[in-house]
């Protein structure tokens, strides 16, 4: 319980600091206008950091941005009745800033809330919170390196990311992304026999069609892999070490 309170307090502190930043920026920049993005997606699998957590999920989300600050919420809702206890709500806030023409920074936090987890798995934490710091370069392929620490589970992750968009014509584009990292998961969890450290990699390719200037649809394939051994699997359903799946989404900007 104390760790949950610490997670909420830590993320709330970050969120409050970012809200203050947004307020200050809105007064400094006369033309500061909030931007909102709504997304409704569907994925044939849900994979988190290289590990399959569920199958067939709906992923609605809403993100708000103003200058360098952002906040939002995303749902991961399993359509499999047997996995409804894995419904997930992610609340996040961050501050992304260009330190100079080359160096970029992203600082924020995210709360992971599992509203039904206590019913099916009472020994599990239904609320965790991460703080993260990202350092990026303003060069082609948009490289980023992220450091994340879960203040409840005491897990630590380092992840590198690349992305690139290829315009095909005025309405069509190809979006490519890849990520790879290493996760250190602390021992003591009910579903783990000891601590677990593993490498993982993920790739994604989506074709996007712009309906108009503010709405679009996209669909594509995803692939992930990890080096977990059979005894280290992090899912009671027996998640695969390698996963190939697809997803689609509708996006609207306001």
3-class SS of residue 122: coil
Rounded average pLDDT over 78-96: 84
State which H helix or E strand residue 246 sits in.
strand 242-253
Which pTM value belongs to this model?
0.86
pLDDT band (50, 70, 90) for residue 54: confident
Evaluate if residue 188 carries a pLDDT over 70.
Answer: no
Q: Which candidate, 98, 95, 87, places its Cα nearest to that of 64? A: 95
Between CA 72 and CA 96 the distance in angstroms is 14
**What pLDDT does 96 receive?**
95
| CA angle centred on 153, ends 77 and 20, rounded to 5° | 75
Domain boundaries, the chain: 2-253
Looking at residue 182, its pLDDT comes to 97
**What does the pLDDT look like over 223-251, one tens digit per residue?**
999 998 755 555 444 456 899 999 999 99
Q: Which CATH class is domain 2-253?
A: mainly beta
Residue 88 has pLDDT above 90, yes or no: yes
pLDDT digit string (tens) for 112-141? 998 876 555 544 568 899 999 999 999 999
How far apart are alpha carbons 208 and 216 in whole angstroms?
7
- What is the structure's pLDDT at 33? 80
């Amino acid at each position: 319980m104390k760790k949950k309170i610490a997670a909420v307090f830590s993320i709330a502190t970050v969120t409050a600091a970012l809200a203050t930043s947004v307020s200050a920026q809105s007064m400094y920049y006369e033309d500061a206008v909030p931007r909102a993005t709504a997304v409704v997606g569907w994925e044939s699998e849900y994979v988190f950091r290289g590990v399959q957590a569920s199958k067939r999920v709906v992923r609605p989300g809403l993100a708000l941005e103003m200058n360098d600050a952002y906040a939002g919420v995303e749902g991961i809702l399993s359509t499999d009745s047997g996995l409804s206890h894995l419904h997930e709500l992610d609340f996040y806030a961050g501050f992304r800033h260009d330190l100079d023409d080359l160096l970029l920074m992203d600082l924020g936090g995210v709360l992971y809330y599992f509203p039904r987890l206590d019913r099916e798995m009472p020994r599990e934490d239904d609320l965790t919170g991460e703080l993260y710091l990202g350092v990026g370069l303003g060069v082609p392929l948009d490289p980023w390196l992220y450091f994340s620490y879960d203040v409840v589970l005491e897990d630590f992750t380092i992840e590198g990311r690349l992305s690139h968009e290829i315009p095909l014509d005025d309405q069509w584009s190809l979006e490519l992304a890849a990520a790879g990292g290493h996760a250190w998961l602390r021992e003591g969890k009910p579903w783990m026999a000891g601590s677990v450290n593993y490498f993982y990699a993920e790739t994604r390719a989506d074709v996007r069609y712009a309906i108009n200037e503010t709405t679009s649809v996209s669909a594509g394939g995803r692939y992930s892999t990890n080096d977990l051994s059979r005894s280290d699997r992090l899912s009671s359903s027996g998640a695969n070490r390698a996963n190939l799946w697809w997803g689609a989404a509708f996006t609207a900007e306001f």
